[in-house]
Amino acid sequence: MPLTLDDRKKMILKAVVDDYIATAEPVGSKSLVSRHQLPVSSATIRNEMAELEELGYLEQPHTSAGRVPSDKGYRTYVDELMEVETLPDDEARIIQDVLRANMAEVTGLIRSASSLLSEQTQYASLALSPKCCKNHLQQIKMLMIEPGRALVVVVLSAGLVKDRMVRIPEMLDSAQLMQIASAIEEGLQGMTLDDITLVAVSAAGKHTPLPDSLLNQVLYEAYVSIKQADNLEVYMAGSNKLLAYPEFADVARAKIALDTLAKEGMVAGYLSETREEADDSTYMIRIGQEIALAGLENCSFVTTTYKFGDTVAGRIGVIGPRRMSYAKVISNINFVRMNLNDQIRRLGAGID
């Protein structure tokens, strides 16, 4: 049994996947030759397809139906056979324009990149908020809103900013609050987020000449705010677009898939685990069963990473039916990735 397919088999596999992606219907030998004007007869194709099935690249929904790609079939398709188009100018322009218009802030930038992907590909899209364990605390500010309430602003390296409303003792005034914040900031300057503990925050804050009774609550809230700044968040867009595809014609199946996607934590967890693998290639593809999430068996993920400086910060990608137009999705994702990294770099560098 050959480990690699001969050229004709590759050619046929590619044709089958292409056709199935286009039509969503099992493709037969006869329609294949006519559609692609192959120089051989349908009988030959039949023999080849039978072999491809035996090798696990194709499947038959039932005897006397055409063939459908298996996970393995899709896999070799995306790894070896597919031709990635370059993005049409008009689509490229849209992406560039939208990203440029949203570059005031990282979160908004990523969110809009995600929406863009969904809009352009007509699949669902998702993005993970930037999270980098090597992130440093750069600043922490506390802003008095009214007696008893303050806004804690945490600035991480790479210019990522998060804030959070907290309750503080009513007796604290604005000046004291700022004093505490600077004490913490000084004490933790440059520490990585993982290294920051409640003890460390407390130690830093104790340099302030204030009674513990007032301090403790504030220090605790500061600690929580810092930790929360690094929380993994998910932005998802266009999941209802999936209902347009025939693989979701059955509402029950559709519901299972959408319910799974709605549990953002699950998807986030899954994607963040896969962080390390395949770092060299620009994108990562998970097909069907390769996704270990119940309910997404006939879906595929295509994701890529975006960077802060030169460290990977998060993922952004597309979720669609297994039978998705990988070529189109990948060209979009690559372009978005490039532009996203570009804008983030500019944002960090302060270029307008």
Partner DNA sequence: TTTAGCACTCGTCGGTGTTGAGTGCTAAAG
Partner DNA sequence: CTTTAGCACTCAACACCGACGAGTGCTAAA
Question: Could you give the CA distance from residue 50 to residue 58 in angstroms, rounded to a whole number?
Answer: 8
**Measured from the CB atom, is 163 or 233 closer to a second copy?**
163
The one among 153, 198, 293, 312 contacting a second copy by CB under 8 A: 153
CB 208 within 8 A of CB 185: no
**Measured from the CB atom, is 64 or 86 closer to DNA?**
64
Size of the site for DNA (CB under 7 A): 25
Question: Could you give the CA distance from residue 330 to residue 188 in angstroms, rounded to a whole number?
Answer: 41
Residue 3, both tokens: 């480990």
Considering only residues 60-99, where is the footprint of DNA by CB under 7 A? Answer: 60-67
| Cβ at position 124, least distance to a second copy in Å | 11
The one among 17, 21, 27, 336 contacting DNA by CB under 7 A: 27
Residue 115, both tokens: 């929406």
| Cβ at position 35, least distance to DNA in Å | 10
Residues 6 or more apart whose CB falls under 8 angstroms from that of 13 comprise: 5, 52, 57, 58, 69, 73, 76, 77, 81
Q: Which does 30 bind (CB under 5 to 8 A by kind): DNA, a second copy, none?
A: DNA
**Measured from the CB atom, is 224 or 327 closer to a second copy?**
224
Residue 274, both tokens: 């896969």
**Measured from the CB atom, is 92 or 254 closer to DNA?**
254
Site string for a second copy, 209-248 (x = CB under 8 A): -----------------------------xxx--xx---x
**Measured from the CB atom, is 47 or 281 closer to DNA?**
47
What end-to-end distance do the CA atoms of the chain give, in Å? 59
The CA distances from residue 56 to 21, 50, 272, 331, in Å, are: 18, 10, 30, 28
| Cβ at position 314, least distance to DNA in Å | 41
The one among 11, 53, 264, 297 contacting DNA by CB under 7 A: 53
The one among 139, 182, 272, 311 contacting a second copy by CB under 8 A: 139
User: Judged by CB under 7 A, does residue 41 bind DNA?
Assistant: yes
Site string for DNA, 7-26 (x = CB under 7 A): -------------------x
| Cβ at position 248, least distance to DNA in Å | 15
Which positions touch DNA (CB under 7 A)? 26-31, 39-44, 46-47, 49-50, 53, 60-67
